[in-house]
Structure 1
Amino acid sequence: MLVAVRKIQKALGEDRVSIEQDDIESHGYSEWSTSNSTGRPVAIVTPRSTEEVSAIVKICTEHRTPMIPFGAGSSVEGNFSSPFSGICIDLSGMNRILAFHEEDMNITVQAGVRWTDMNEKIKSANLFMPMDPSPTAYVGGMIATNCSGTNAMKYGTMKDWVVNLTVVLPNGTVIKTKRRPRKSSAGYNLNALFTGSEGTLGIITEATLKLAILPDETSIGVATFPTVKDATAAASKLIRAGVPLAALEFMDEVQMSVINQNGGAGGRKWTEKPTLFLKFTGTKDSMNEAIRQTQKLIPGYTSDRLIFASTASERESLWAARKEALWALLAVRPENTEIWSTDVAVPLSRLAEIVDLSKKESGNLGLFSTVLGHVGDGNFHQAVMYNPKDPEQYQAVKACVSRMMRRALEMEGTISGEHGIGIGKKDYLKEELGDSTIQLMRALKRSVDP
């Protein structure tokens, strides 16, 4: 590995390779990740182009050195850990917008472009890319984990917005998956192969993405409920009734309390009850009709239980609590504890049941626990704070999470709605997909990375 490091220094320049301990630690460990390994990379390399990534990969392959693509480091399942050491390829320096085709409604960017920056630069054209994971996330990592976020209910997930990809394969070969039309039936769907592959099949260096029209109007609603089951049942009712929601989010009473402990969000203190956050977008008339439908469908609707924003500042105020949820959790985390945060997704008809059961079970641990998530598409997250040095606590939380995973599978759901597999969920992937599917995945891996 050290020989490979020296060759990369020679090829790219010493200033592009870091062996500083702080850099190595920040690229090998994350305080918000559920799964961390004890391994660390031997060096951090920062390429600026696809050609430089290819050169790095060829050197690593020659010396049988593991390669770990790294974006913003915001994933939570140990997706960027280095269990076998190796060289971390930090793509943050590849942050250029390469082409913006306004009339075609697509954009070509390098993997290290932050989605929030990209949307800010193109909003004057009345366009945006609707995925909204962590605000720090880069396009390459978003594609590699098939991210989604709060807007997935209306806009789908990252796989629905990829036009083509430039990928460096494990031997250094550079390929492009498609050309630039929005649709194509030429050959295998290689976009789908690499989207969600988490860096196991190649390193995504560039992407052409579809863009959407910015909505004319947006409104946010907030509704509180006596129990988690009531809130999630109301969410399912709204979806089944066909209310045209852009997003439907849920936070339990514990999470709302955490927000208040941090001084509130959006300039307000929040009712500490299970809460639904509703986003409406479209024309003013269509949005108002959706709001009227919602008011009829929320059981026992009263004006103090269902609040709607009428101005931009009110929208930001109401949505702030949902967007600040993770940071609020980190802020109240006691010293020497870690957060075990993970997600599952189930068919909508089983959502209320699994959220209620999971909350009760995690509550029985005697530890801090909370549930929240994207209930609009059947995806929810559970977070438990525990002392990793206490074997009893660790095993109890692990068993609780394991039961949640298996419960999701029993309900014909999935062990990962949007977090990916990383090293945190590898043990459950076989249970979800079965031996034959896993063998096919292994065959694909061997074919590109013998």
Structure 2
Amino acid sequence: MKASIVTIGDEILLGQLVDTNSTWLADNLTQESVVIQNVLSISDKLEDIVESLELLSSASDLIIVTGGLGPTKDDVTKKALAEFMNTDMYFDETMFNKITAYFEKVGFTLTEAHRLQCYLPKGIEVLENKMGTAPGMYFTQKGTHILSLPGVPYEMKWIFENSFLPLLKSINNLGVPTLHRTIRTVGIGETRVEAKIRDIIDELPEGLSVAYLPGLGQVKVRLTARGQNAQDDVMEKYKTKLTNALGDYVYGFEKTLLEQALMDVFVRKGKTLATAESCTGGQIAAKIVSVSGSSKYFLGGSVSYSNEMKRIHLGVQEETLIEQGAVSEQTVIEMLDGLLQSSGADIGVAVSGIAGPGGGTPDKPVGTVWLAWGSKGERHTEKLQLGKDRIKNIEYTTVVAMNRLRLFLTH
């Protein structure tokens, strides 16, 4: 099955909003053996939407459109779909009753704009949206399957996974059998990953291939099988070989995030964790608590940005701050010691650095970061020398900190 993805919104074309919907859809469609042919971003103009549908329908088995389904005046997707289908709009009483009941429940006032939202093109199948008021819409036109989804990411994902995916499985009988396996690594670059698995890649049978998807401090290794070798036993055989070759750099598979893997190892080992952050400003703790169930092991954290906070809350000695500075090995050691003492956690991590773009010196340039992690009986430290991009420095330090904690418990 060949598919095209269309994202609607002037805010995307103006660079005011990053399109994450098409990336997510492409990834999930690929998992279902759907081949993505086009990804297109267009304006909110009705004629542009219709023109795009007409252009793509001749070469696509499936078109997914996101955006333009809300109650505001610039949400014109439904009108464009009706024009493309050469049909009229009708008022959907069922949808109106659901919206009315929802607004009464939460105490909001139903507006005329929300009433207008209940006008839909005749001939479409309404797909339930339990995350918002705009429904998904599905129909076929001259052999092409067309799905329209809200642009709000969490609504779009819910409809796709819960209302459309079962339908997709029933209509997707046009493609070559395809399977994917993803191995997630951290603390190793793409080039070194490739070097470690080169011998395995050379022995892959026909139809199997490996791709690398690098990120900040992480690399995803995607194994793909097409055709006669798209079988679970073949995939598991080579996934195991690749995993063994990559060793401790592997932290998870498929959609497992590093923060999930971190929670899994802490819970499995029955250990608790606390964090002391300066330059990351709470980002490590934020990643940790983004995973449901993190309260099983995470006690809490301290964001001690100033020297005074480091002294008061973490017990860092004033002499250390004066003589060695806030960004030093001794400072993060004392931050860690104070954290473990005050929190009672089994394990802790402390970070202090110069995220940038200002604040650096010849001795400690922007991107200098010190980390300390461990327990009362075993401490480790590491110095990072990163670049000048503040956000990247914070995100990379967060990844390194979580990975050091993971490895600390797995060795």
TM-score w.r.t. length of structure 1: 0.25
Higher strand share: 2
Task: Report 1 or 2 for greater relative contact order, CA contacts < 8 Å, sequence distance ≥ 6.
Answer: 1
Q: Larger Cα Rg: Structure 1 or Structure 2?
A: 2
